[in-house]
Structure formats: structure tokens, C-alpha cells
């Protein structure tokens, strides 16, 4: 599939698109980066974009749009009800997934809210390979519990297993029996499992989960937000998918899961959210919440231009040349880092590269937030903004004790169709410098800790003077370079 170079040493992932609109970037001096991260309470979410060179905080809502998406936005039909734009979005869903029952939501978490409101009652459990932050927040808010059943291989930072997001199927059967099907609100498969490093789930495993759900009479849900990366991995890593058309895979999944929802900020290279189903009974159950929380059924809180862009973007999610760009750039970054000896989650997944901070700063305990500390250090090192995916991203237990993350990761997301390979190389180079100076990196402590989704707004302070020391070392090594 990838284009082969004549000289093997020249082999790099080759983009099958060209850039026609550009945005100016700023790389501010290291002393200013220090001031910026401290002013942001060491929380990369609180940095200003003008102070960032490579924004790798997320792949959500920041993907490069195609010419066809930009063109589609010009013909958006802005009407409150019965918009033609919505008809085009439904047609795109029908093409990609083969289903006609579609509800709009303003983004992925809004779809999760509707799903949770419909199915979760106090005392119920939801079973999933792994939680996502917003998914879990909606479920626990309604008195439900999240039980994670990812196969244990998923939590081993470095393996060569191609599908680390797979469910442990025996545990799934046992857990449904243990709680009884009536107490299971739904089983949720997260494609491209976000919090364990964008690791995919095999088609075989997904289908086995839906079989178990059907046998036991439990609702099966697919979070397809990261499905395009997952489909790429199915095609390239799973023998039975090699000769399947991408569309066949999407259609097969939609015919087997009761409900599929996704963030169009990821799947669709746009913004917004969708909930789809092959059986109208599920969409009927959820429908009433759309006008209540989102907007009328033909826009659901989405801006019509975003709906048009999502419709076209969904069609592009069938195109292997488009959907391979993200995973191939990520694989390139992961290989560079691995060759440098930097501990990174392997194999490379979708979404981004994930630094294994427990190994980068092994002396920092969970309650000094190693993943957040590495994030602050990397911003100082290169103006690169990643995202904490470790203990800070967890919720405290109901009794207030800290819940330590299974993996302390710093995520370097790779927005699709956005960066050039020289920027990716710069990123690898600055991470390597940070890693070589890891003994300088110290911990963080809370200054302001919000109760819900604390990683978004919380503020932390560095313990000691390690950040100033890192800046001094940067000047020593890089002279007057930015």
C-alpha cells in the first residue's frame, strides 16, 4: 500500500494530498515558553495557541479539510427544520455505514449524554474495553458504573500485539452473568482505544462482542470516533480484512452493533456528532433527547457548514489513501522515538504517539503527576503541546482518594492531513533532547483542582525550580536557537 522508494534509506510515508491553505505558526523563545506554561498552571489546555508551535493536544476538530469539504460548506442549507444539508449528511451515513436511522448531536460527548440518559439508571453497569473521559463522566453522573474489560495485553506498554484494544471475551461473558443482563445498561466497544494509546480492536473481536451481546440480550454500542484509524489497522494487520473493501468493514459493523455513535471532530474531519442505528427502535428511544439537549432533529446543535463538511469527510473516511496518512505519520514518529530509546507505547496506534512517562521519569510518584510534568517539560523544550493522559485525566474515587492511572502517558496527537514530515522530525528531536535531560524533570502539585474533568481546567505548580534549570540547559545546548 505505501508508495515504495527506490533508495530504501529514503523511505518515508508519502502524503497523497498537497497543502493549499497554510496557517502561520509561532515558535517563541524558551524563556517565554517557561512563562507561558507557568501562567497556564502547567496545564497544556490553558496555553494560548499563539504561544504554540506544534499543537499536538488533540486530533479532534483540528484535522485538515479537503477541497471538497470546503466546497461543500458553500452550499449549506441553513434552515431550522428540514434542511437539505441534513439530507446530504444522512445520505453520506447511508453510503458509509449502510444505515438510515441517524440522529445529530453537537459533538461526541453530546451523543454520550443522550446514550447515558436513555440507558443508564442508578446501580447499572456499563461494560467497555476501556473508558473515555467524557463517556465515563456521563455514566457516573447518572449513578452508573464503568467496568473495563480490555484484554490484559492492552495495558502492557510495549508489545508487538496488533490489537491491544481487544476485549477479554471470557471476562465479558462472566461479567454479564455476574451482574445479570438486566443490570447491564450497555456494552461499549471503543474503536482505536483512546486512553491506552489509540490501540485498535480487531474486527474478529468486535464481532465476537456483538455475538455475546445478542446471546445475552444486552445492547451493543460502538464508539466509532476513532474508527477510521481502526479500519486502517484492520486492513493492514488483520488477515481477513486485507481484501475487504473499507466500505464492507463499515457496513458489517453497522449491521452488527445495535448503536454506533461518533465524534465528527475525528471521524468526518469536521465537527459535530452522530448516533446511528440499523434498527429504528434504538433511534426512537433516543430521539426525544435531541431537541431537548441539542437542537432540532435536522441539525442537533451542529452548524450546517460543519454538517456539510462532515458528510464529505465521512465519504473520505472510506479512502485508504486519506485514512492511512495519520497512522503512517504516527508510526514514523514512534519509530524515530523508539530508535532514540525514548519509552513510547508500541506498537504505534492511531490518534498519536504516546510517551510512557512512568519510564521517562520513574522517580516521580503518581501523586506528583509524571505525565503532566513531562507535558510541561516538552512544551518548554520545543513549544510542542501534548495532552496528559495519566492520573490527572482520572477522576478521584467517591471517597476522595486519588485513582492512579494504569498508564502515565503524554499523548502527542497527530491531527490528520496537518503537519509536514519535517515538523514531525522536529518533534522527535525535541522529545529526544527532553529525554536526555529527564533527570532535571520534577513533579507537580495541585493549586486548583476542579471536581469534574479536572484535566481541562485544573492548575498545578512545579515542585522546586526544575523548569528554570531545564531552560538553562536548553540555552547551554541550543545557544540562541528558538
Q: Which helix (H) or strand (E) holds 82?
A: none
Neighbours of 427 (CB within 10 A): 24
Does 354 interact with ligand F0G (rule: CB under 6 A)?
no
Which candidate in 45, 77, 94, 133 is catalytic? 133
8 A C-beta contact, residue 276 and residue 91: no
Task: With contacts defined by CB under 6 A, name the span among 105-113, 208-216, 286-294, 303-311 that binds ligand F0G.
Answer: 105-113
Give the residue from 364, 355, 480 showing the smallest Cα distance to 411.
355
We find the least distance from the C-beta atom of residue 253 to ligand F0G, in angstroms, to be: 15
We find the least distance from the C-beta atom of residue 271 to ligand F0G, in angstroms, to be: 8
Q: Which of residues 83, 194, 277, 298 is near ligand F0G by CB under 6 A?
A: 194
Q: Which of residues 53, 132, 250, 329 is near ligand F0G by CB under 6 A?
A: 132
Give the residue from 395, 453, 329 showing the smallest Cα distance to 59.
329
Number of H-type helices and E-type strands within the chain: 19, 14
Cα angle 270-275-279, degrees, rounded to a multiple of 5:
145
Cα–Cα distances in Å, from 465 out to 393, 439, 446?
A: 25, 13, 16
Give the residue from 200, 437, 430, 228 showing the smallest Cα distance to 333.
430
- By CB under 6 A, the count of residues binding ligand F0G is 15
By the 10 Å C-beta count (0-12 exposed, 13-18 middle, 19+ buried), 106 is classed as buried
- Grid coordinates belonging to 250: 463499515
8 A C-beta contact, residue 260 and residue 230: no
- Taking the C-alpha atoms of residue 263 and residue 246, their distance in angstroms, rounded to an integer, is 19
Nearer of residues 272 and 370 to ligand F0G, judged by Cβ: 272
* 130 is a catalytic site residue: no
8 A C-beta contact, residue 119 and residue 135: no
Q: Which of residues 108, 200, 313, 442 is near ligand F0G by CB under 6 A?
A: 108
We find the least distance from the C-beta atom of residue 67 to ligand F0G, in angstroms, to be: 24
* 417 is a catalytic site residue: no
Q: Which of residues 42, 44, 58, 228 is near ligand F0G by CB under 6 A?
A: 58
- Taking the C-alpha atoms of residue 304 and residue 316, their distance in angstroms, rounded to an integer, is 19
Q: Which residues 210-249 are close enough to bind ligand F0G by CB under 6 A?
A: 223, 225-226
Task: With contacts defined by CB under 6 A, name the span among 38-46, 104-112, 324-332, 457-465 that binds ligand F0G.
Answer: 104-112
* 132 is a catalytic site residue: yes
Q: Which of residues 43, 44, 69, 107 is near ligand F0G by CB under 6 A?
A: 107
Nearer of residues 120 and 471 to ligand F0G, judged by Cβ: 120
* 223 is a catalytic site residue: yes
Which candidate in 266, 346, 385, 417 is catalytic? 266
Q: Return the SS3 of 230.
A: helix
Nearer of residues 194 and 298 to ligand F0G, judged by Cβ: 194
- Grid coordinates belonging to 25: 505558526
Neighbours of 38 (CB within 10 A): 15
Nearer of residues 58 and 277 to ligand F0G, judged by Cβ: 58
We find the least distance from the C-beta atom of residue 464 to ligand F0G, in angstroms, to be: 30
By the 10 Å C-beta count (0-12 exposed, 13-18 middle, 19+ buried), 127 is classed as buried
Nearer of residues 101 and 194 to ligand F0G, judged by Cβ: 194
Nearer of residues 251 and 265 to ligand F0G, judged by Cβ: 265
* 80 is a catalytic site residue: yes
Q: Which helix (H) or strand (E) holds 430?
A: helix 421-436
Does 265 interact with ligand F0G (rule: CB under 6 A)?
yes
User: Which residues make beta-bridge pairs with 356?
Assistant: 409
We find the least distance from the C-beta atom of residue 119 to ligand F0G, in angstroms, to be: 16
Site string for ligand F0G, 14-43 (x = CB under 6 A): ------------------------------
8 A C-beta contact, residue 139 and residue 146: yes
- Grid coordinates belonging to 313: 469527510
Does 109 interact with ligand F0G (rule: CB under 6 A)?
yes
Q: Which residues 268-327 are close enough to bind ligand F0G by CB under 6 A?
A: 273
Does 63 interact with ligand F0G (rule: CB under 6 A)?
no
Q: Which of residues 100, 134, 175, 437 is near ligand F0G by CB under 6 A?
A: 134
Residue 190 DSSP one-character state: E
Does 188 interact with ligand F0G (rule: CB under 6 A)?
no
We find the least distance from the C-beta atom of residue 225 to ligand F0G, in angstroms, to be: 4
> Residue with CB nearest ligand F0G?
108
Q: Which of residues 118, 230, 263, 358 is near ligand F0G by CB under 6 A?
A: 263
Give the residue from 413, 431, 425 showing the smallest Cα distance to 357.
431
Q: Residues in the site for ligand F0G, rule: CB under 6 A?
A: 58, 60, 107-109, 132, 134, 190, 194, 223, 225-226, 263, 265, 273
Query: What amino acid positions are annotated as catalytic residues?
Result: 80, 132-133, 223, 266, 389, 455
Amino acid at each position: 500500500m505505501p508508495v515504495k522508494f527506490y533508495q530504501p534509506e529514503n523511505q518515508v510515508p508519502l502524503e497523497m494530498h498537497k497543502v493549499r491553505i497554510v496557517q502561520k505558526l509561532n515558535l517563541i523563545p524558551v524563556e517565554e515558553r517557561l512563562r507561558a506554561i507557568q501562567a497556564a498552571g502547567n496545564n497544556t489546555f490553558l496555553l494560548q495557541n499563539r504561544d504554540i508551535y506544534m499543537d499536538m493536544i488533540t486530533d479532534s476538530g483540528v484535522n485538515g479539510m479537503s477541497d471538497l469539504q470546503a466546497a461543500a460548506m458553500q452550499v449549506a442549507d441553513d434552515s431550522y427544520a428540514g434542511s437539505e444539508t441534513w439530507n446530504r449528511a444522512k445520505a453520506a451515513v447511508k453510503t458509509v455505514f449502510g444505515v438510515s436511522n441517524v440522529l445529530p448531536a453537537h459533538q461526541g460527548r453530546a451523543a454520550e449524554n443522550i446514550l447515558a440518559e436513555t440507558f443508564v439508571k442508578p446501580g447499572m453497569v456499563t461494560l467497555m474495553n476501556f473508558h473515555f473521559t467524557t463517556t465515563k463522566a456521563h455514566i457516573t453522573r447518572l449513578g452508573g458504573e464503568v467496568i473495563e474489560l480490555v484484554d490484559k495485553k492492552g495495558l502492557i506498554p510495549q508489545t508487538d500485539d496488533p490489537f491491544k484494544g481487544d476485549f477479554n471475551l471470557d471476562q465479558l461473558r462472566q461479567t454479564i452473568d455476574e451482574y445479570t443482563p438486566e443490570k447491564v445498561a450497555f456494552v461499549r466497544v471503543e474503536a482505536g482505544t483512546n486512553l491506552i494509546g489509540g490501540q485498535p480492536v480487531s474486527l474478529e473481536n468486535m464481532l465476537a462482542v456483538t455475538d455475546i451481546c445478542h446471546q445475552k440480550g444486552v445492547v451493543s454500542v460502538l464508539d466509532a470516533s476513532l474508527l477510521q484509524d481502526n479500519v486502517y489497522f484492520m486492513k493492514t494487520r488483520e488477515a481477513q480484512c486485507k481484501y475487504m473493501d473499507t466500505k464492507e468493514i463499515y457496513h458489517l459493523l453497522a449491521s452488527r452493533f445495535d448503536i454506533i455513535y461518533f465524534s465528527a471532530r475525528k471521524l468526518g474531519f469536521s465537527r459535530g456528532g452522530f448516533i446511528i442505528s440499523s434498527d429504528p427502535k434504538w433511534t426512537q428511544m433516543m430521539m426525544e433527547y435531541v431537541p431537548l439537549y441539542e437542537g432540532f432533529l435536522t441539525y442537533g446543535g451542529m452548524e450546517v457548514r460543519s454538517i456539510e463538511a462532515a458528510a464529505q469527510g465521512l465519504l473520505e473516511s472510506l479512502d485508504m489513501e486519506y485514512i492511512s496518512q495519520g497512522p503512517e505519520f504516527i508510526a514514523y514518529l514512534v519509530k524515530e522515538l523508539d530508535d532514540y530509546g525514548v519509552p513510547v507505547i508500541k506498537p504505534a496506534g492511531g490518534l498519536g504517539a504516546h510517551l510512557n512517562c512512568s519510564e521517562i521519569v520513574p522517580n516521580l510518584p503518581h501523586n506528583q503527576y509524571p505525565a503532566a510534568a513531562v507535558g510541561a517539560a516538552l512544551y518548554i523544550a520545543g513549544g510542542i503541546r501534548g495532552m496528559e493522559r495519566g492520573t490527572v485525566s482520572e477522576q478521584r474515587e467517591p471517597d476522595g482518594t486519588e485513582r492512579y492511572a494504569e498508564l502515565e502517558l503524554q499523548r502527542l496527537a497527530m491531527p490528520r492531513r496537518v503537519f509536514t514530515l519535517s515538523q514531525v522530525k522536529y518533534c522527535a528531536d525535541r522529545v529526544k533532547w527532553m529525554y536526555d535531560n529527564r533527570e532535571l524533570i520534577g513533579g507537580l502539585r495541585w493549586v486548583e483542582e476542579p471536581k469534574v474533568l479536572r484535566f481541562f481546567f485544573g492548575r498545578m505548580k512545579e515542585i522546586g525550580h526544575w523548569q528554570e534549570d531545564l531552560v538553562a540547559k536548553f540555552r547551554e545546548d541550543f545557544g540562541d536557537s528558538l
